[in-house]
Structures are given as C-alpha cells and as structure tokens.
Amino acid sequence: MIFLLLQGILSQQFAADFLFRMHNHESWVGPKTKFDGYSGRILQINENTNIENLLSNKRPYPEVIVIPLGLMKDEIINKIIELYTPKPYLQGFVVTNDDSVDYSADVPFPNRQYMSYTAPDDFQWNPRATSMVQHIYDFPFIYPPKAEVENLEAHIKKYGSKAGIYIRVYMLSRGNSKKCLKASDCQMVGGLSMYGSFNENYNKSSVWAIANFDSFGFFPYAHVGADYSISGFVSLLAALQSFQNVDWSKAQKQLRFAFFDGEELGFLGSTKFLTDLEKFECEKWDKEKTICMKPYRLDFGFQSIPKDETFDTVIEIKSVANASALYVHTNKNGREFGKTLVGTSSALPVEMADDSLPGVPPSSVNSFIKKFPNIKHAVLTGYQGTFPANNRYGMPSEVLYNPEAVTKASQTLADTLAKLCGITYKPVVNQTIVSELMLAFVNAPADSQYIKQLFPTSNVPTDHVSLYAGVYNQYTMEMKHLLVRDILKESTAFNITNIPCTADANCSEYGLSCSISRNKCVNYTMNLHPAYSNAFEYDDDEWETTVVNESLELPFDCEANWDSTELHFISLPSLYSGRVTVGIGILLWVLLSALLSAFWNYNMNFLQS
C-alpha cells in the first residue's frame, strides 16, 4: 500500500527511446544503470549556453540535463562530463529533437573489419563520425518522442526551477557477450531477411537486386535511418513492384532480390544467407523432419537455388533520399563493369563515384564479393565520395527527404535492372508507393493512406517505426517484412489458378495466396532467412543461443536485457520519490521473501517431524 501511495506522487509515465547496452567480444558499450533509477532537477542547455560558465562551480543538487540533438556531439558531452562536479550529481541526459544535426554518432569506418577489401588505415567513409555509439557512460540517455517533448516543455514552463525528471531503465548484464549469454542477461542481435525471384523457371545466370532494411544508431529504437537505410529499401521495393507485368520467359537473365536484415552490425543477414546457401547441415530435426530445430530453420527456400547457378551480378541501392544523380561504387576490379552502367536515364543521370575511393561503401555487396570475388557488382548511392554531411548516420533521422528524388532513383534502378536482365519491357515506378512508404517510416505508418489500405483490419502504429533489427526473434515478421510480402506478391505471382478469392484465407488450404488485383489464388516466390552472426547458433528445441565460434573475425553483438523504460516528469518536493519508492518496494520484497522462506522451512520441518 505504501508503495502504491508513493508511486502515485510521480507524474504520468511517458514512452521514450534510449541508449542501451551492447555487448561484444571484449566487454560492453553503452550506459551504466542503477536499479532505483536516476532523478534530478532539470538543467537545460542549448546552443547559446556557455557551458564553462554554467559548470564553473559545484552543482547544488542532482540534475538531469535536457539538451537538443544538435548539441549531442562528442566534444560537448565530454566537456559537460569533465566540468560537472560533483560527478554523482549528473543523473543523465534527456535529448530533444531538432533539425540541425550534421554529424554522426557512429564510427569513422562502419564495419571496417567485414569489408571485401583492405583500405588505408586513415581512410574514413564517415568523416563526421564521433564514435559515440562505442562509448561507456555512467548514466542513461533518453530520447522522448516529439509529443512528449511538448509535454516536457509544458512541464518546465509550469514548475520552473522545481521541475524535475525521474528516469529508470535497468540493465543487469555484465561482461562480454559470451558471459552475459551464459547468464541469460542478454540476447544476440539478429533479424529476418527476405529474398525471392521473378521467375519460377530456372535460369543459370542471375542478377541480384539487394538492399538492407535495418538501421542502427545512438538511440537504436528511434533511429529510422531515412537517408541511409530507408531510402534504399523503399527505392528497391518500388523498383521491383514495377516489374509486375513482365514476361520473364523472354529474359536473358533471372532477376532475384533480397532485403537483408542486421547489416549495420557486421552484414549479418547477407553473410548468414550466403553461408547457408553454400553449405547447410541440420543437426537436429523435428519428428516430421520438416523443421530443423538446430540450427533453427523453418524456411528452406535457399536450398531451391541451384548449386550451379551463376551469381552474375549484384546491385545494391542506398542513401538516395535527396539524390540528384546516382553514383556507381565498385571495388577496383569492378570499375569496367561499373562504367557500363553510366549514362543518362529517363530519371537520373548515372555517373561513376570518385575513383580515389578504395572500394564500395559499407554495404551488403561486400558479402557477395567475399563469397564470389569476380561477381559483377555496384552500389548505387546519392553521394559521389564519402558519406554526405546530412546523412545522420548513427543518429535519429527525422531528416528532410525528397519523394521525387527517391522516385527517380527507384526508376533509374528499375531501368538498370531491366537492361541487365535483357528485357525490353519498360518498367514504370509508382510514385505513390515511394512517397507513402517514406512518409510511413519517417513520420508514422498511421500517416500513410497507402499503409492503411494494405492493412485495413490492423491498428497501424501512430509513432515512428524503427528499422533496427533488435534481438533475434526467430521468424517473427515485422511491418517491413509484411510490406515486402504484400507489395511484391502481385509482381512475383506465378501458378495463377482459377480459384476465386477475396482474401488469403480463401487460398490457404491450397498453400496459395490471394491476388487482390486478379481475385484469384496464386503462388509467389518469396522466402525468409534468419539474420544473425555465424558466431552464434540458435537451438529452438532448447530455446537457447550458444556460442559456436569465438573468432574475432565474426560479429559478436548482443543486446542487454532491460526493463521497460520509465520516464517521469516530476516536481519538487517529490524529486527523490522515485528512489524512495523503489527502495521501499525492495525492502518490502525482502521482508516478504524472508517471511515466505521462514514459513516454508517451518512447514517442511513440520512435515518431516
């Protein structure tokens, strides 16, 4: 009762994204946390604040600093930490959104150790990097949604110097990934890739069109990656949709596609897919021998790709949110092929990227090159050199984007793929799909009428949907997977029957899907594949993740287990009630446990007497 009364002193709890702990080979990065949370008065810092003067004297009481995203720079945060005294009074940061970010929280060369070439030590793909995603902090960083920032501002205006904040997000995990997995305090990072083809008839030579649809940043669950990730994902999806009416029997090469998950943390999806494609052995089957329990596989579509198929070409697209041209990036041995893509299409001009670059940018194409060194390849981007100033790689990305630019990039990609596959059909990209999908991911799915039409019976999210892969959740499909399935099943449909339908339920007994445009049951070629590091394996029979390879050459990322985030806007004198509340709760829990233990022992002694 006391616990409930004290809890009522706190204001309403708000949803918020946050920086969490990420484990690796050596240890972990991210914030330290305390079970009873952090609380303090609000100290606002903005671009006009003289930090040296503000923090020149000891602070009189614990504080939570409210700071705009534009000031979340390594040098500024480090200066605050260095000057702040006493250190324990610095209770954390609440970061508010603004549009002035022109730097990155990620490292100078993302995924350097997993690239298909060796670059000079001083080369940086990401010149505005701060490497903040790899630091360890003594307190939490919280990133509230825009609506809650308005509540925060109203709270500060109402209570002034008495306005405070209580934060609690507890992470128990310690040590490196192997240690925390053994203690069940973390889970391996992983996702779910999707792949398919446009022709059920086997053709020995194939063109692969690929994109990654995950993003990772300082606040992973808030990082929508509009420029770097989403624009490429949407461009490829719309380009593939435009091939709906092609007669693929007349194509010179087969068109296959893949959307890889977990790519920003070591090219997890593309590496796992290509590894299984080359060699897969099931250690433990279920009773019917239809599901592999270890390693866990439900979908064996990758085994239908013939072993003697020639992986002729792979084309990837990314970072085209404001593209005025598409630039062709290749490794040194791919320059001649890259030049064959150069030209002026009906949409955007295509030019070669800066010749001084050491190779392709961080991308899924690297996995293909490592597996097939002589494969013809290209990464199409909106930048000619290194990452542009406005990509916000590693930061939440409510960036400005140009739907027309993304549409033109998608159309240029579609034209390029048609040429490579040797088809005369002229694909036309649907601009509505592009603009609506960009709106849905950058803002919220509920803002898109197209999304509502795709999922008429579902309650679509009213806030942004991150593309972060998260922890491995087997074959659970998220919105990004459902979009690929529902948008492309019409374009990839074959075995079109005369069975009438209005919904998938009418076709499920035949193992088919309903084509809405045809109102007939059809089959289509799309499959799912797990995306996690080859360092780990998942046993569904035991429900556990095991370390199978500790090589430093493999990604080893695990996300810490955490409680639901608690962010409360509070006012004095209830500033410390969060800790008092938790403290009393712990005390009551300990007393209750002791009483139950004594009662149990008494009963056991009684029964044994």
pLDDT in tens, 523-543: 887 899 999 999 999 887 778
What's the CA gap between 588 and 557, in Å, rounded?
37
Range list for CATH 3.40.630 in the chain: 179-560
Rounded average pLDDT over 600-607? 50
- Place 13 in a pLDDT band, splitting at 50, 70 and 90: low
What are the pLDDT digits (tens) for 379-402? Answer: 999 999 999 887 778 888 667 799
With 0-12 CB in 10 A as exposed, 13-18 as middle and 19+ as buried, what is 488? buried
CB 232 within 8 A of CB 319: yes
What's the CA gap between 182 and 546, in Å, rounded?
8
179-560 placed in CATH 3.30.750: no
What are the pLDDT digits (tens) for 223-246? Answer: 888 888 899 999 999 999 999 888
Q: What is the pLDDT of residue 14?
A: 62
CB 98 within 8 A of CB 392: no
Around Cβ 342, how many Cβ atoms within 10 Å? 13
Range list for CATH 3.50.30 in the chain: 1-170+565-582
Around Cβ 254, how many Cβ atoms within 10 Å? 22
Residue 452: its H or E element:
helix 449-454
Does 8 have pLDDT greater than 50?
A: no
Q: What is the pLDDT of residue 471?
A: 94
What's the CA gap between 243 and 246, in Å, rounded?
6
What is the four-CA torsion angle of 31, 32, 38, 40, rounded to 10 degrees? Answer: -60
What's the CA gap between 580 and 213, in Å, rounded?
43
CB 177 within 8 A of CB 558: yes
The single-letter DSSP state of residue 471 is B
* DSSP E strands, 176-223: 186-188, 190-197, 205-212
High-pLDDT (> 70) share of the chain, %: 90
Q: What is the pLDDT of residue 202?
A: 66
Does 270 have pLDDT greater than 90?
A: yes
Q: Which residue has the tokens 């949409």?
A: 347
Rounded average pLDDT over 487-513? 83
C-alpha closest to that of 413 among 354, 322, 332, 327: 327
Structure tokens that stand for 584 in this block: 């009393």
Does 493 have pLDDT greater than 50?
A: yes
Q: What is the mean pLDDT of the chain?
A: 89
Q: What is the pLDDT of residue 512?
A: 81
Does 472 have pLDDT greater than 80?
A: yes
Residue 7: its H or E element:
helix 2-7
- Place 139 in a pLDDT band, splitting at 50, 70 and 90: very high
Does 11 have pLDDT greater than 60?
A: no
C-alpha closest to that of 165 among 571, 573, 583, 599: 571
The torsion angles phi and psi of 595, rounded to 5 degrees, stand at -65, -45
CB 210 within 8 A of CB 314: yes
- Place 581 in a pLDDT band, splitting at 50, 70 and 90: low
**What's the CATH architecture for 1-170+565-582?**
3-Layer(bba) Sandwich (3.50)
With 0-12 CB in 10 A as exposed, 13-18 as middle and 19+ as buried, what is 573? exposed
Does 361 have pLDDT greater than 90?
A: yes
What are the pLDDT digits (tens) for 173-218? Answer: 999 999 999 999 999 999 999 999 987 666 779 999 999 999 999 9
What's the CA gap between 67 and 142, in Å, rounded?
10
Q: What is the pLDDT of residue 83?
A: 97
